[in-house]
Amino acid sequence: MIFTSLGASEEIGASCHYIKIDGTGILLDAGADPEKEGLESVPDLQRILQNPDWPVDHVIVSHAHHDHLGSLPVVVKLFPHAHIHMTAATRALADILLPASARLQRRKVEEGTSTVDPLFEEDDVHACSHLYQAHELETEFDLSGLKGKYTIEGELYDAGHVLGSVGVHITWYEGGKERTLFFTGDTGLRNQTIIPGATYPDGPVDIMLLESTLGADPDAEKFERKNEEKRLGKAIAKVLKRGGAVLLPVFSLGRSQEMLALIERYKNRGLIDDDVPVYTAGMMRAISDAYDKNRYNTPRLDEEFQVFGVKQRRLPRTDGALREVLKQPCIMAVGSGMMFDRTISNKIAQMLVENEKNGIFLVGYSRDDAPASLMADARQSGKGNLVTLSKNKGPQPINCSVDRFRFSGHSNRRDLLALVDMMEPETIILVHGEKAAKDWMSDNIKFFYPEITVLQPAANDVVEV
C-alpha cells in the first residue's frame, strides 16, 4: 500500500489522503482550506492526474466540516467515475453545506470582496449529489477497484466528533494474509452533550492514520467537560442576572447544536430562567433540523432530544431591532465561532463589548489572530483595553465579561495514546495536526510503544507501507 497526503501536512487545512492498495485508489476526505480561496484552498489533486497509475475508484468522506468536505464537487468533476461514500447524516449535511459554499463564493465575487472565480456553482453540487452512497455504521461495503486484484471491504465506525462523523476501517487480503487499515478521521472519545464518544473496531490493525489535532495542547487533557459545563452555566446565569446579554459565538455544525442542548439543560435545572429568550440564525438552523431528522439513525446520548425542542427565536434582521433585543437579558448563539469581520457574531460583539453588564463566552477553537482571540486576550489584561473587532468600527474598549471554555469535539493527546493502546497498530501515520502536535504524538508513541513504527510524511511524500 502507498499513502500520500494531498492536503495540509503540517497544519490543519484541507484534509485529503490518497491510498493505493494494489491497483485500487481511495481518497480519504475531500476538504478545502477555509482560510484560502479558489484552487489554493483545495488539495493537490493534480498530483493524481500526473500519475497515470494512480486511479481514484472511491472517495470516503469522514464528516461534513468544510476542511473535510469542501472540495468534494471538485473531486467529483475530476474523477466522475469514483464512488462517493459517507453516512446518511453526512449526506444530509452535504446537501446543505455545499450549496451554501457555492453561494458564498459567488457572492464574494459579486460584492467585490474576492477576485477568485468560484470553484463550483450550485448546479454543480446538485448534479453530483445523487452520486453519494450512504452507509450504515459497522456494515461492510465494497471498496474494490476496477484494476485491483484484491477484494477490499470498508466499514464505518462512529467517530464521536459531529453528526455523521466516522472513522474508516479497511480490510483486504494480500498474499493470503488479511491486512487492515483504520483512519480515525476527527475523533472524540468522550461524550459531548448530544453526541456520544466514538466506537472503534477490534484491534489489532496493521496501519492507523491517526489525527493529532490537540497533540501540542497540554491544557486540553486537564479539562473535564462536566466542570466546563458548570462553569459556563454559572457565567451565563451571572450575566443574565445583572440584566446583560450573552453572546456565544459558535460554529454552525456541531458546537451550535451542543450549546443549545446545554442551554436546555441549564433551564431544566433552574440555573437559567425558562423565559430567557435564545436567538439563533443562519445556517445553524438548517443544520439543527438535520440533527433532528437524523436522531434515530445516528448515535445519540438521548435520541428523543430535538435541537428545535429548545425554545429559540430567529435573530432580528435589522440593526435597530437587534439593538432593542440586546437591551434585555437574552442569549445569542450565532456564527462564526472565531468572530470574523462581517459575520453575525462579530456585529453583535461590537454592540455588546463596551457595556460591562454583557458577556461574550468563547466555546470553541479560535485562531490567535482571529477577532475572538484578540478580544479575549485584551480583556484578560484588564477591563477597558482596546481591540479592533472590525476595521470599519475601529478600536473599542472591552468592558464586558469575556471568557473561554473547553468543549472540543477532538480527543486530547492522552486519549489518543489510549486509542493507540487499544488498536495496537504496527504502523501509525500521523495526520491532521500542526508539526508540534505531530512531534509530541510521535515522541510519546515511540516512548510508550517502541514496537510501533511512526511516520510523519511531509507534503508530497509518498510512503509505502
176: CATH: 3.60.15.10
**Which residues span the domain enclosing 162?**
2-217+409-464
3-state secondary structure of 210: strand
Both 166 and 114 in one domain: the answer is yes
Both 377 and 294 in one domain: the answer is yes
Both 431 and 379 in one domain: the answer is no
The whole-number average pLDDT for the span 281-308 is: 94
**DSSP state, 163?**
T
List, in order, residues 6 or more apart from 288 with CB less than 8 Å away: 256, 257, 260, 280, 307, 308
Both 391 and 248 in one domain: the answer is yes
Task: Tell me the β-bridge partners of 20.
Answer: 2, 25
Q: Which three cell numbers stand for residue 235?
A: 457565567
pLDDT confidence bin for 342, thresholds 50/70/90: confident
Residue count of the chain: 465
- Evaluate the CA torsion angle 156, 157, 158, 162 in order and state its sign: negative
The whole-number average pLDDT for the span 15-41 is: 94
- Evaluate the CA torsion angle 31, 34, 38, 41 in order and state its sign: negative
CB 348 within 8 A of CB 322: yes
Average pLDDT, the chain: 94
Both 185 and 63 in one domain: the answer is yes
**Beta-strand relationship, 177-183 and 359-362:** unpaired
Both 204 and 330 in one domain: the answer is no
H or E element, residue 84: strand 83-86
pLDDT of residue 357: 97
Buried b (16+ CB within 10 A) or exposed e, 209-248: bbbbbbbbbeebeeeeeeebbeebbebbbebbeeebbbbb
Bond before 336 cis per omega within 30 degrees: yes
Q: Which three cell numbers stand for residue 145?
A: 477497484
What percent of the chain lies above the pLDDT cut of 90? 87
The whole-number average pLDDT for the span 243-255 is: 95
Domain end (from 385, 404, 423): 404
Tell me the Ramachandran region of residue 395: left when phi exceeds 0, alpha when psi lies from -120 to 50, beta otherwise: beta
Both 238 and 109 in one domain: the answer is no
Rounded to 10 deg, the angle between the 283-293 and 255-268 helix axes is 70
Residue whose C-alpha is closest to residue 233's, from 257, 258, 265, 256? 265
pLDDT confidence bin for 11, thresholds 50/70/90: low
Both 425 and 341 in one domain: the answer is no
Domain end (from 404, 421, 436): 404
List, in order, residues 6 or more apart from 235 with CB less than 8 Å away: 359, 361, 401, 403, 405
pLDDT of residue 137: 98
**Domains identified in the chain, total number:** 2
The Cα–Cα gap between 275 and 15 comes to: 42
Task: Tell me the β-bridge partners of 463.
Answer: 3
pLDDT of residue 381: 87
Both 150 and 79 in one domain: the answer is yes
pLDDT of residue 9: 66
pLDDT of residue 219: 87
Both 354 and 380 in one domain: the answer is yes
- Evaluate the CA torsion angle 186, 249, 372, 104 in order and state its sign: positive
Both 264 and 243 in one domain: the answer is yes
**Beta-strand relationship, 207-211 and 177-183:** parallel
The Cα–Cα gap between 463 and 329 comes to: 56
What are the Cα distances from residue 211, in Å, to 29, 200, 411? Answer: 13, 14, 9
pLDDT confidence bin for 45, thresholds 50/70/90: very high
CB 215 within 8 A of CB 441: yes
Among 5-19, 198-212, 295-309, the range scoring the smallest mean pLDDT is 5-19
The whole-number average pLDDT for the span 183-198 is: 96
Residue 334 has pLDDT above 90, yes or no: yes
Domain end (from 386, 404, 422): 404
List, in order, residues 6 or more apart from 80 with CB less than 8 Å away: none
For residue 36, the tally of other CB atoms under 10 A from its CB is: 13
pTM flag (> 0.85): yes
Task: Tell me the β-bridge partners of 386.
Answer: 397
Instruction: Please count the CA atoms within 13 angstroms of the CA of 73 that sit on its side-chain side.
Output: 24
pLDDT confidence bin for 140, thresholds 50/70/90: very high
Both 354 and 457 in one domain: the answer is no
